[in-house]
Structure 1
Amino acid sequence: MRLHRLDLTAFGPFGSTQSVDFAELSAAGLFLLHGPTGAGKTSVLDAVCYALYGSVPGARQSGQGMTLRSDHAAPGVRTEVTLELTVAGRRLEITRQPPWERPKKGRRAGTTVDKAQTWLREYDAVQGAWKDLSRSHQEIGEEITQLLGMSREQFCQVVLLPQGDFARFLRADAEARGKLLGRLFDTRRFADVEKRLAERRRAAETRVREGDADLLADAHRMQQAAGGAMELPDLTPGEPGLAEAVLVAAAVARSTAREQLTAARCRLATAESALADADRALAGVRERDRLQRRFAEARERAARLEERSGAHREARTRMERARKAETVAPALEMRDSEDTAHRRASRAERHARALLPAAFEDAGAAGLAAAARRAAEELGGLESARRAERRLTELLGEHAALERQERADEEAREDAETWLAEWDGTRAGLRDAIESAQQAATTARELDVQRDPARQRLNAARLRDRLAQDMETAQEQARTAREDALAARQHWLDLKEQRLNGIAAELAGGLTDGDPCAVCGATEHPAPARKVDGHVDRETEERALAVHQRADERRAESEQRLGGVREALAAASAEAGDTPTEQLAREADELERRHTRAREAASVLHDAQERLRRAEHEHGIRVAARSEAAVRAASRVGHRERLDRERATLEEELARARGEATSVAARAAQLERSAALLTDAADAVRAAEDAAQRLKEADARLSDAAFRAGFDTPQAAADALLDDAAHRELQRSLDAWQDEEAAVRAVLAEPETAAAAQRPPADLAAAQRAAEDADRRVRDAASARDAAARRCTELDRLSARAAGSVRRLGPLRDEYDQVARMAGLAAGTSADNERKMRLESYVLAARLEQVAAAATVRLRRMSSGRYTLVHSDDRAGRGRSGLGLHVVDAWTGRERDTATLSGGETFFASLALALGLADVVTDEAGGVRLDTLFIDEGFGSLDDQTLDEVLDVLDSLRERDRSVGIVSHVADLRRRIHAQLEVVKGRSGSELRMRGTR
């Protein structure tokens, strides 16, 4: 990379346009950039870095591009940096303009902010003209970074060599050196490898611990299943040997559980045998107790039978008489039945005769039957008349129905006619309502689209008005801050000028006879300058400077606030326009009202459409109803005439049939009632005569039956009879006596019962207690056997689960061992890493070794062969090794730390280190040639001989066609280096002047 030209406008301390011809300066090979402190020497290097990367180096960076602007620039001049250079065989021109707050054009008050801009052009040697490549910040940044092959940090370290940084690098510890080298050589990928290995180690360790924790949890479960008889290993998750210890403990627990199960089974078999013996003994005792109680109960029952023997004989005698009387019972029942029938027939005869006319009071059964037949014959003749009467009733009903239908059809026809007369107007009104609602819906949609823009514009207008007020306040504050800053700056400059005018008196105040003057070197001071009234000392000037700086900070803050308000106001004004807020509010409210009215009008659309559909349906129904009513009216005319003719014929027939009765039905009812009464009376007379004859015959049969049964009178036989309930009760008593007597004899005759009665009483309670004790022992033994079986099953299950966990943990533990070993090696914590060197430190150590070798070539020449830089990977104290840097003194043959170098030695050692680092980074970046280098300050600490040697080394860089720019204010360098770029400062800003170039 070679620089050709740099143009600055309103940048840093340079208020006007300044140009630097690097091509002319580079022709000398070595040139000097000098000027008083604060004039802007470093700002020239900042401009180069800003042109290439869009930002300035290191701590001079700023997030706001407007801070790069010169305070000396005129308001209408924009800050701009243009750099022309050759890189990778291409001649390029880069122009950058940071954001700029400029006055508004025309007569408008205030300021506005222009965005940052960048241009990249390339010189076409064939056509002899520049061509545009890009105006995109991102594209230009990527293009420059790719061509240079290094980041901004690397460029600032290897092209703009900051000697103070390398002096600190020489004295720094390994951690600080690692940070710098890591930024230059981008070893983040190696740090990422360390981090990735550490993460994998932690992840693997977590999985192993989780697996061990699960295994240990299974071991605790096995201990619980084993009833606490299992001893757990005294190990924590993650410790080696845990899996083997758990499996061994599980095997011991399973063996113990199986032995316990065998013993429990033996105890259960013994208890079951004892229970069987106890059950058999209990059964025998129960049987003997049952027989003894059976014999005792039989003896008690026999005694009770003997006590009731007299009553039993009386009952048996009564039963024998009742059995004899049962032969007379049919005759008794027949006589009672016939007597009851006779009384009932007599009552019926009297009742039937009472209902007849007096003429039939003494008539016999034959006369009554003849009269009934005559009435029935007359009733049969009225059947045809009754049918005619029923038909006449039906005709009257049909005629009334026709009248009702006619009235209903007439009403329906009139209603349909009335409704249809209004149909055209109703349909037109509904269609008009639908059309109006549809138009309102369309209007609502159109207004809805306009509402949001109107509201947004209104909000923007309100924000515009508020920001306009804020703008006035911010402008006033910014104007006041600028005036205060200018006044403070002017006051400080005035005081500084007064101090410079009286600086001789201030220097004279420190003169002592015999001591050399700091200005002329004389030891005699015959006429020292004296302070005049109003003399300004250094403290007064510094206070004024502090006041100026605070005022300038307040100015920058107020201008920044003003810029923010101005940008927001411009955005709000662009959106709201110039329309007053009140008008926009009225327009927005009117839109809302119109939209609301349109929505309300459109809301009836569905209801109107539904009413039209229902009205059209009703119209069809009304037309059909009118037609159907007309058809029915025509059909009723003929039907009515037929009904009238049939009615007249029936009325003549009924007049003949009913005679003096009100109706045929009434005449028929009279005849039916008379025939029924006569028939009932004839039947009642015959029934009474038959009943009297049967009663006489029953009395004769009863007397004969009682005599044959051995009773003196029929009444005696009746008294001996028993009803069914008494007979059943007496028979049940006799049967029960016989059954009880037979049962008692049978029990007393049983051999086993009689033998048991001769034995001692049975002790059932003792036998039951013995059986219960045996059963309880069996249950306890079975419970113990089941618990032992469950323990074995659970231990087998948990052991199999633990074995599976151990098999799964094997590969995880192997993976963890490998990853942990690799992570420990990479992090420098492993015992195998003897020097405790991290992977990133190892890579940086290799780079540092290359840098030390490249720096030694120049350091030996600067120190006349005395010093050599060497890399050391020894550990420093308890820290890690790998980034040590020592210097070897050839005069003493000893190796010492670079922190022990003196000020001058530190300078040329750091210069050699910087040049060596530039070579290594250049090679690392892909061999991009760096034809222009800058060395910033540090030469004031060298003596003349060392300075000559350093300049010879720098001058030797021309052998590789390089140009080196030295940034320094050392006066001796101005005599030694002829090609110079001087920075001259003044009240209107600094200027650049070139000297000693051809």
Structure 2
Amino acid sequence: MRPVKLIMSAFGSYAGVEEIDFTKMQHGLFLITGDTGAGKTTIFDAITYALYDRTSGGSRDGNMMRSQYANDGTDTFVEYVFSYRDKEYTVRRNPEYMRMGKRKKADGTPRLVKETAKVSLILPDGSEYQGKKKEIDHKIEEIIGLDVDQFTQIAMIAQGDFLKLLHAESRERKRIFSRIFQTRIYWQVQEELKEQAKQLYIRLQDNIKDCIREMERVETVPESGEASVWADYLTMKLPPADGVMDTLKEICCQGKTKEAEAEKLSYELQKQSEELNASIRSGEEVNRLFLLLGQAEEKQRSLDAEKEKMEEQRRQVEDGARAEKVSVRETQLERTKAEGKRLVQQIADTREWIEEQSKSAVSEESVLKAAGEELQKSEPLLQKQIIRLRDILPRYAQIWKLEKEYAGNLKKMEAVLEECRLASEDYEEKYRLFFAEQAGILAKKLTAGEPCPVCGSTEHPKKAGISGKAPEQKDVEKAKEKRDKIEKERSLIQEKFQQAKSRLESEKKLFEEEAIEIQGSTELSEEQVKEKLAGCETELSLIKSNYQKQEKKFRELMEELKRRGGLLESREKQLEELNMKQKEEEEYFYQELKNQKFDSYESYQQARAWMEGRDAKEALLKQYDAQTVEVRTRLEMLRQQTEGKEKTDLSSEKEKLDEVQAAQKVQRKNVLSLHSLNQKNRQAKTKLNQYFEARGTLTSQYEMVNHLNRTANGMLNGSVKLDFETYVQRKYFKQIIHAANRRLSKMTSNEFILQCREIKDLSSQGQAGLDLDVYHLVNDSVRDVKTLSGGESFMASLSMALGLADIVQNTAGAISLETMFVDEGFGSLDDSARERAIQILQELAGEKGLVGIISHVNELKEQIDWKLAVTKTEQGSHAEWVLQ
């Protein structure tokens, strides 16, 4: 969606018809600048109102936006022309408001005319969309692809709103995301499962109670045989269903028979009573007419006696009615005077506070400067010492590991040397025995006269013998192989031993060098290092905490001074308007005094005495008049009805009727008792049958639904309290953070980024899952996002807002939003941070088309060429494009 033209008429601070042509700004970044209250944000309010019948903040409806500077003849409306996907649309909307009519009343007083709310939509083909207001609003939302909440989230980046999102608790983010990403359906699933589990449990418990209660309701005939059986069932915790139902069936049959017999006797007594009643009613009717006639005549005499008094009250009511019309004007005038006195006192109090706190601000700034210098001086030295201590700590574990490795290799070395010695001795012994045995074998083959193959002699006086215990050649070879194998193993173990020894000596040497640098000697224990590290970290933390505390205190004081200054200006303007209003109301009061035909203020004051209780007097007069007409009509009718009739004595007939009715009452009570007993027993029989059948089904349903409920609502034992809706929202939250970090890393020069707290680090108490931390890339530390400074918070909130805008646009179906506005917040940034923020927005303008910054920060005026300057005058505001 790209703005083409915006026309505001008598809207907000714009008194006349104000036209802003956005086609002059084809592409890039522009600044909406002007004094506080000039109407910068009103431009975006007008766009939002034209599209959605709401302002961007949502605090003011369109009917509250009529300009106080507007002339009576100027209409209030907003006309907005925009292009969407290369198609141009025009929306014109005006609120419901009261304006002065062109003609006056008959008595010359001004006449107010109500202007009804209207909206029209011109489509790209030039035709007007036909439909009622609700249908046109829905069509506009369908064209843009966003509802008003999504539009104000991604098209208007307001610092205050996104600081709320940045610093919100997990519970609050859940509520915000529920509205933006429409995840309420997952919460509804949770609630539905919770409610179902609760209801099933209640129903299961109620089923047991209902069975017992229904059995207790059953009444038996005392003389019947089933009474004792039923009494036994009532003592059981859960009696057998079949036995209960069979016994109850027989109880119902017996009750039905007794009820029929009682109804027959009751009918006979009823017939006698009706005959006597008819005779008595006829005589009583005549007697009643004579009684009413006497009462009416008495009432007529009473009304005649009050006639003169009622006429006097009628005159007082008329005088009080005229005085009440004047009193309305007088009361309004008094309220306005009292409000003026209150404003004067508030203005004086505010000025006094500003003067006192301005002096305090100078002192607080000096304290903050001293704390900053202390931090700047001490932090580098302490950070250097902390890094050195953290580096040496792992060496203790490394040396212990190397010593353990060296000892193990030494033990292996000693063992393998012993094995080598034994294997070598075994081989040499077997070789010696085998070699000696070979001489005996050769001597056995010698023959006299034949030369010896060894010495060549033909005589063999002493031949070598064969012992029979020498090893074979294959045994000698195996012993040799075993010796060679162990020798090879020894060589490898000896090499590892030398390497472990070398590494241990090297590590100890490095440790001693670092220990000497830290405290001048090699005697440095691990406990000493930890104590030194804790001391340095504590000292650094205290220095930082002191600076942050002083910085926060100074910032809050300056913000409050700024707020009170704006409040003072607003109240002074309000007092000026109130004085004008008081003058007008005085004129209205004296005009009304004249209209009500009071010749003096004193005569009006006398008539005011009759205002009190006027409604009661009017009601009394109406009642008197109505009673007069009613009594007169009743007298005439009763005289006609009693003409030619006399009173009658009915005492004997009434005595006889009393006797019959007494007997009838006893019998009717008996019938009702039996009917009630039988009805109750039949109902119990039906319900008990239903309850016995329902119990098994309820049990299986409850077990299944309760497990789903505990899972969806994050109530499983030993798990994080992460419910279904929050689990879904984490997906959107991580996407938002990822999109935000792409810009935040550039703004902060890769100093820190945002990250969603991992599930394993979440608290098991309370709602969690959408917690936000700050990860510092430089020192690999994590802290809460609420610890960010004002400038850091703005950059983080701006990045979050842009990230949210990206995700909402993708979620809403890849809508095309080519324009974005950023409202304030740059005043908290230093020059470098502001430069990076502007660079990000310039890149964003390359992506979106147009990005407007609403701000009064002077430095931005020098950095941004195109400006939409809003000028505030006593006759209203004006806006015009300015190219630097």
| TM-score normalised according to structure 1 size | 0.44
Q: Whose radius of gyration is greater, 1 or 2? A: 1
